Structures are given as structure tokens and as C-alpha cells.
Amino acid sequence: MIIGLQIRLARHALRWTANDLAKTAGIGAKTVRRVEAEDGPPKSSVATLEKLRKAFEAAGIEFIGTPEDRPGVRLNISK
């Protein structure tokens, strides 16, 4: 599971706006801002979080750690 902190970190690493992420993931920009506002696991559907994860992973983001143990992101620039 990804958390709000990781979503913020990933978006900033890619230099995407909330609108860029929303368009890429196929969700609303308000939803992006809502899930980013939470530090822990977002109160959002599993489907929405999967859309976010897939959009980030396609762009070269790797989610590392767990929500409880050193959550973070790694940018895979070889993609």
C-alpha cells in the first residue's frame, strides 16, 4: 500500500503537477490533492490507489518500504 507521503514524493520527483498526475492516472485532480493531504494510508478506494501506483511505476517510480517502516520512493531513470 502506498501512503500520502509517497504520493507527494513521487509526484515531486517527476516534477508533475496534481493535474498531470490526475490525467496520467485517469482520476480527478481533487482526488489527487485529497490523497496527498494524508500522511498515512489514504482513505481512498483500492482501485484509485492502484491507478496512482501504475501511473507512477510506468513513469519510473519505485515505491520502497512499508507504511510503517521507512516509506519512500526511488526514481528509476533507466526507464
Q: Quick one: cell of 18?
A: 496534481
User: For the chain, how many structural domains are there in total?
Assistant: 1
Contact 36, 4 (CB under 8 A): yes
pLDDT tens sequence across 2-24: 999 999 999 999 999 999 999 99
**Helix ranges, 1-79 (H):** 4-14, 18-25, 29-36, 46-58
Separation of alpha carbons 69 and 14, rounded Å: 23
* CATH number where 66 lies: 1.10.260.40
pLDDT tens sequence across 54-76: 999 999 999 999 888 999 999 99
